């Protein structure tokens, strides 16, 4: 009888220790989840701040704003509501920058490379000048790059090939020089590639022939004031 009583007491003690252990582990788990949530929120805030600062640096390079578009880019409203800026719903990060035909002039800020969630950059029909910053190669989510009819000079950045998701690259009507980088042949998702009405030299790199997504589409390049074109499945 005495042995059974002691056995029961020991079992009860083990059970209480087991319960306490479960409670402790549960608290640690919840605390871990809470810390994870706080860390995630902190990263989101830092990411938002990075995007806002990148946009402000972009604005700082604008030297002409005839339509006063940049006046909406101020601290009175969230940057996701600035003219031409589109953000994703989940993370409030900039996914599109669309400022076409707004009579803007200025240089392209290298800080644009900090918009790490950017999928579309459209600056068509303005007067942006100087070179395309090398930092554009940091936009790993970029799918559309349209810089048509500006005054952009210099060479096409070779590290544009790092933007592996690019489907559309259109830089017609600028003052680009040099050759088309052979590394663009690494952009397997490309559907449209246009460089006509520039001052490019050399020939179309053979590596572009590997871009199967460009089948039945036109590639253009300005060469000695003449437009050469090549099509994958049909003649020009």
CATH number at residue 58: 3.80.10.10
Strands 85-87 and 62-65: unpaired
**Is pLDDT above 60 for 222?**
no
Element at 91 (helix H, strand E): none
| Interval 105-123 mean pLDDT | 98
Q: Are strands 192-195 and 168-170 parallel, antiparallel or unpaired?
A: parallel
- If one compares 147 and 203, the residue with the highest pLDDT of the two is 147
Q: So what's the pLDDT on residue 46?
A: 56
pLDDT-wise least confident of 68-72, 90-94, 161-165, 216-220: 216-220
pLDDT in tens, 166-203: 999 999 999 999 999 999 999 999 999 999 999 999 88
Closest CA to 191 of 125, 134, 138, 145: 145
Percent of the chain exceeding pLDDT 70 equals: 71
The Cα 15–Cα 7 span in angstroms is 12
Between 148 and 8, the higher pLDDT residue = 148
Q: Would you say residue 127 lies in a domain?
A: yes
State how far the Cα of 181 lies from the Cα of 186, in Å rounded to an integer.
Answer: 10
Domain that holds residue 203: 2-231
236 falls within a domain: no
pLDDT beyond 90 at 29: no
* Tally of domains within the chain: 1
pLDDT of residue 232: 38
């Amino acid at each position: 009888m005495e042995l059974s009583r002691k056995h029961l007491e020991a079992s009860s003690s083990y059970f209480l220790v087991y319960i306490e252990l479960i409670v402790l582990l549960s608290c640690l788990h919840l605390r871990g989840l809470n810390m994870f949530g706080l860390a995630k929120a902190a990263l989101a805030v830092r990411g938002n701040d990075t995007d806002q600062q990148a946009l402000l640096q972009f604005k700082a390079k604008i030297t002409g704003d005839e339509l006063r578009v940049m006046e909406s880019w101020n601290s009175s409203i969230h940057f996701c509501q600035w003219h031409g800026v589109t953000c994703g719903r989940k993370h409030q990060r900039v996914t599109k920058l669309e400022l076409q035909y707004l009579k803007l002039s200025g240089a392209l800020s290298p800080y644009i490379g900090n918009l790490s969630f950017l999928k579309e950059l459209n600056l068509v029909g303005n007067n942006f000048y100087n070179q395309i910053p090398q930092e554009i190669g940091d936009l790993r989510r970029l799918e559309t790059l349209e810089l048509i009819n500006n005054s952009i000079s210099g060479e096409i950045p070779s590290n544009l090939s790092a933007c592996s998701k690019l489907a559309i690259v259109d830089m017609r009507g600028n003052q680009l020089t040099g050759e088309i980088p052979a590394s663009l042949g690494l952009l397997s998702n490309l559907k449209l590639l246009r460089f006509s009405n520039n001052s490019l030299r050399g020939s179309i790199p053979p590596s572009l022939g590997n871009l199967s997504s460009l089948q039945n589409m036109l590639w253009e390049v300005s060469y000695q004031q003449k437009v050469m074109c090549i099509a994958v499945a049909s003649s020009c």
